[in-house]
Amino acid sequence: MKQLKNLRKVSGLTQWDLARATGIARSRICFIETERVEVRPEEERAIRRALHQAMRARQREIGEVFLAAGK
């Protein structure tokens, strides 16, 4: 998962946040980001789900900022 670190940062998550959201140890998240370990299929599903939820939340926040600015 070469892009994991970038996707995580864009979604506004720290490694700790992603670890809490997925149930994967923070150290393992770090190893996955640096490609020191292979990501397991169940980990990939959990990571994708957490990133998707974080991105949706981020989109809502951005939308609220634009709505507030338009008032």
The model's confidence at residue 13, banded by pLDDT at 50, 70 and 90, is very high
Q: Is the model's pLDDT at 14 over the cut of 90?
A: yes
CB-based contact 57:14 (threshold 8 Å): no
Looking at residue 44, its pLDDT comes to 97
The model's confidence at residue 33, banded by pLDDT at 50, 70 and 90, is very high
Query: Could you tell me the domains of the chain?
Result: 4-69 (1.10.260.40)
The model's confidence at residue 71, banded by pLDDT at 50, 70 and 90, is low
Helix axes 41-69, 26-33, angle to 10 degrees: 90
Tell me the pTM.
Answer: 0.84
Looking at residue 68, its pLDDT comes to 80
